[in-house]
Structure 1
């Protein structure tokens, strides 16, 4: 999720563990601890594009690192902030639980989270929530404001904190239900039409769980569309992409190319360009209204003889006023 979501979620989690003893300081510590895993982004510019993809949300988002570092950070904080009301176990919970909340929420994004590293390179992702979801934020921020307004009224503060945590759990569960229902509906439609497919990928578009991208893979390519859950039978912005995976065959032994393919989980298309090839990761959609321009991740493969250089184009967020307006229009109406 985005940093603001992790800040406010970390704060409300910390409220339930330690605010009874140290008040608003718990919110500050929780907000910081809730963002600790994303400090890996400081180092990604130093890595190759392929390695940077796996370093982010890799070991930094693993359960092992929480187990190893949370006690160390708790000890350091306890030596700096010598509040006699806090035992070491209190500091440990104050650091570990917001940190864990970050990891657990990120699992539901499409990017993938290496929760089992270094024992497994499996990237866990359920693809049911966008990285930025304003509805999720809208359910947490008022709780943080209420907690601050209540000051020293401890009981009411904890009630609002638990309401926020409960809202997050319900919202995530609701997103999972939407995803499962959408994939079931699409599979039934394909069966009724007699169309063969190998898999269905669905992912929420940015800002909410109301508009979804649907990717249906078959032997030759992908059919891509968007679905509005307020009128789920209507498909929007349909497009078709050939796989063109054969373009990468001469580069099959290139380690960086292999990493890119693994990152996309096989949902990618390849196009020729003036300098070589362009790889599009089909799992992420921006707010743009046409594909492949709407795909967030694009990798340019420049081929000069035996030299292969990979560069990652800046993520295409397409956050223009026009695109946001059309995005809202697609949610509120099926006319497009």
Structure 2
């Protein structure tokens, strides 16, 4: 999830666990600790594109990491706040709950987190909420900042924190219910279109939980369609993306290519662009692709093999081009499509 959501949830949990004893210190440290698992982003940037691919949402998002880190944070915070007479065990408990909350809400996003590292590198993903969903953060945004202006002894602090956490958690759980319902709609749409899917992956589009994207795998590629919760019919229009996996065959033994296939969970397309191979993670697709947007896919990687498949193989992450005027227009189109308007 986005930084703001993690920060606000961490602050609320800090209040609920130690707010009465430590006041704003608990809120502040809860907010700060909630961001620790995302140190994988700057570290990954230093490691390079290939290493960052699996390091992201990796060990820093594992149960082992948060469980080992929490006692260390507890002892550190107890020393920093000796005057508050809060034991290191209480600080550690708060730290563990905050860190765990980061893992839980990231679990509901699409990218996946490797919860069981180093024992298993399987990435768990419920894929029911966008990485940025303003409606999830809103209850926390309306309650957590208010805590800072109330005396720590006031019961209203606990009440506000509970309201923020409860409402946002109900919304989060509701996104998974949405996913189950939308998956059924996509299956009906595929059946009507005569498409026999080997598997189906459904996720919400960015900033909302109303417009959903489905990708269905068939023998040689994938069918992609969209469905709004406000549509009065199942998805009707599906676009086929050929996999072209044979282009990747000479490179499949390269560790970085195996990592690409694992991270994309097998939903990918290979394209040859200017004599170079591009690997596209089709779980995310193109930005606003129902508008026949011609921008690159959100996650696209160039295969770098100057000496051919028998030499060193690396990847380069391709960035999306930013066009402010165009992006504002597509955001307006997103609103229209969410409302069930297709033209």
Q: Provide the rounded CA distance (Å) in 2 between the counterparts of 1:236 and 1:42.
A: 42
CA-atom RMSD in angstroms = 2.0
1:259 matched to which residue of 2? 259
2:78 matched to which residue of 1? 78
SS in 2 for 1:203: strand
Q: Structure 2 unaligned segments of length 5 or more: list them.
A: none
1:51 matched to which residue of 2? 51
1:45: Cα distance to partner? 1.7
1:108: Cα distance to partner? 0.7
Equivalent of 1:298, from 278, 281, 300? Answer: 300
What are the within-5 Å matches in structure 2 for residues 145-294 of structure 1? 145-152=145-152, 154-231=154-231, 233=233, 235=235, 238-285=238-285, 286-287=287-288, 289-290=291-292, 293=295
SS in 2 for 1:78: helix
1:3: Cα distance to partner? 0.7
Q: Does 1:91 pair with 2:91?
A: yes
1:304: Cα distance to partner? 3.2
SS in 1 for 2:319: coil
> Which piece of structure 1 moves more, 50-59 or 260-269?
50-59
Q: Provide the rounded CA distance (Å) in 2 between the counterparts of 1:299 and 1:163.
A: 42
1:165: Cα distance to partner? 1.4
1:189: Cα distance to partner? 3.1
Equivalent of 1:327, from 315, 319, 334? Answer: 334
Q: Provide the rounded CA distance (Å) in 1 between the counterparts of 2:323 and 2:136.
A: 21
1:52: Cα distance to partner? 0.5
Q: Provide the rounded CA distance (Å) in 2 between the counterparts of 1:145 and 1:253.
A: 51
Q: Provide the rounded CA distance (Å) in 2 between the counterparts of 1:237 and 1:145.
A: 44
**Deviation digits for residues 84-130 of structure 1 (CA, Å, limit 9, x no counterpart):** 33112221122111111001110011111011000100111111011
- Decide whether the 8 Å contact of 1:54 with 1:263 is kept in 2: yes
SS in 2 for 1:150: coil
Q: Provide the rounded CA distance (Å) in 2 between the counterparts of 1:317 and 1:63.
A: 36
Equivalent of 2:316, from 287, 311, 314? Answer: 311
1:317: Cα distance to partner? 7.6
**What TM-score do the two structures reach when normalised by structure 1?**
0.94
SS in 1 for 2:233: strand
1:199: Cα distance to partner? 0.8
- Decide whether the 8 Å contact of 1:297 with 1:316 is kept in 2: no
1:238: Cα distance to partner? 4.3
1:47: Cα distance to partner? 2.2
- Between the two proteins, the alignment pairs up a number of residues equal to 336
| Cα 1:260–1:49 shift into 2, 3 Å | same
| Cα 1:236–1:228 shift into 2, 3 Å | farther
**Deviation digits for residues 231-259 of structure 1 (CA, Å, limit 9, x no counterpart):** 16264874221010111011121111111
Q: Provide the rounded CA distance (Å) in 2 between the counterparts of 1:317 and 1:114.
A: 31
Q: Provide the rounded CA distance (Å) in 1 between the counterparts of 2:229 and 2:153.
A: 41
**What TM-score do the two structures reach when normalised by structure 2?**
0.92
1:147: Cα distance to partner? 2.2
